[in-house]
Structure 1
């Protein structure tokens, strides 16, 4: 196998690994994915990259429909995207959707579509060549990410501006961005693992109103909390 591409619908996971790179382009719905313990949600405008040999599992929504590219690492020019889930520029996303439509209409065009998808993949932001700067004080602060930024800065013995700079150098995100990602990951856990009302989840996570929670959730995952939960229930 050098490169194979097709449209797939998954009903469940089961932890496993491949000897090739797998790239998931969600055409519809959403999928919660766990790759080597790193969890995220792949949805509209977000592709997932599963490197060869990496154990992974997933939970798809009922309506999840993906374009899946299985490819030997030697066929990919340059570096893979930096994260297991990577935001894709709207122009590129339209290209990937057109490729998916072509395959759905005529599977015989899959070989040409795979080459075009590989070309588009080269335009996705690559892995940074330099390793991130790691500061042990920041790593220790990550375990207390619910604490205020001012409190974390004091705990590490740093001024707030210095703490912000070191935090971003270590994690690639500001403290606010990191906290938001953590909160939304916890929201996904609650939405998929409990029957708790969405309003209760929002208030428990510290949001003052449900509308702001819904807006931030959709900005990250491409679907609202209620849409994500409803899709998961249909799948169950």
Structure 2
């Protein structure tokens, strides 16, 4: 039987797949660790926490040499046996652990996670009581996070378009899209194909070209300026992409408004 505890897990660049008969919390400390379940997945960074239900098979892979998680292992039965109080809410049918989920950390949870990591790493050997106390505290804070509806939104198109729009002249890479949307590489590609019918970078280009068409048809901004504002090296590059994707040159698109 697992003992309720909090422990540091230096994932680094290791990977594997497993499941266990107890729930877990995976709190990001450094780098990014991909975590994939059957129907969902995410890249866990220092801004995120993953909830792992009991018996939920999952694949993990560290993306950086310093990827590290703070792991909370939960013996639900032991928490219930402790008697009334906040611990007794950790019942086997607890909604928090009903399914895999990923959440953005609150400021409080982020600070507590860092504090726990510092304290546990400074001790030559973790005491059982300290590891247990951090487990119950971090679980309580994660539960509060869950009940305040800060779960990552299912439809993240608005977040994606907002990021692209803020970076038109310097288009975001897939890695930046992963961090912003809280997805692993595999999950990001699958989501983009399901949501848009294309790869993430094809969606980035599509959005940029939507702005190109808007400016060409509604403003007198020079084509060279539009190319620069959309991150193309020159107007010829914009023309080449417009002809390939839109089957029309910028000049032809501009004339369509007249």
TM-score by length of 1: 0.55
Secondary structure, in 3 states, of the residue corresponding to 1:123? helix
CA contact (8 A) 2:40 2:187 kept: no
Q: Distance in 2 between matches of 1:56 and 1:174?
A: 23
Long gaps (5+) in structure 2: 80-89, 164-173, 190-199, 209-229, 232-258
CA contact 1:45–1:93 (8 Å) conserved in 2: yes
Task: Give the superposition deviation at 1:83.
Answer: 5.5
Structure 2 counterpart SS, 1:85:
strand
Which residue number in structure 1 is paired with residue 46 of structure 2? 44
- Please report the RMSD computed on the Cα atoms of aligned residues, expressed in angstroms: 3.7
Structure 1: 5+ residue runs without aligned partners? Answer: 129-170, 193-200, 211-236
1:69 maps to which of 67, 72, 76:
72
1:33 and 2:35 equivalent? Answer: yes
1:177 is displaced (CA, Å) by: 4.5
Once the two structures are TM-superposed, the CA of residue 116 in structure 1 deviates from its matched residue by: 2.2
Runs of 4 or more, structure 1, over 4 Å off, are 177-181, 189-192, 201-204
Q: Which residue of 1 aligns with 2:5?
A: 4
Deviation of 1:175 after TM superposition, in Å, equals 5.1
Deviation of 1:190 after TM superposition, in Å, equals 11
Pairs within 5 Å for 1:128-139: none
Q: Deviations over 1:29-87 (max 9, x none)?
A: 11111012312111122101111111100111221111101113443265317752111
Report the equivalent of 1:233.
none
Instruction: Provide the C-alpha distance between the structure 1 equivalents of 2:29 and 2:51, rounded to a whole number of angstroms.
Output: 15
2:185 maps to: 188
Query: Where in structure 2 are the equivalents of 1:97-116 lying within 5 Å?
Result: 97-106=114-123, 107-108=126-127, 109-116=130-137
Q: Deviations over 1:147-176 (max 9, x none)?
A: xxxxxxxxxxxxxxxxxxxxxxxx853753
Distance in structure 1 (CA, Å) of the matches to 2:184 and 2:9: 27
The SS at the match of 1:125 is: helix
Task: State the aligned residue count.
Answer: 160
Which residue number in structure 2 is paired with residue 122 of structure 1?
Answer: 143
Inter-CA distance 54–91: structure 2 relative to 1 (3 Å threshold): same
**Which of residues 158, 175, 184 is equivalent to 1:176?**
158
Structure with higher RCO (Cα < 8 A, 6+ apart):
1
The higher radius of gyration belongs to 2
Contact 2:26 2:69 in 1 (8 A): yes
Q: Does the Cα contact within 8 Å between 1:32 and 1:42 map onto a contact in 2?
A: yes
Could you say which residue in structure 1 is the equivalent of 2:113? 96
1:55 aligns with 2:57: yes
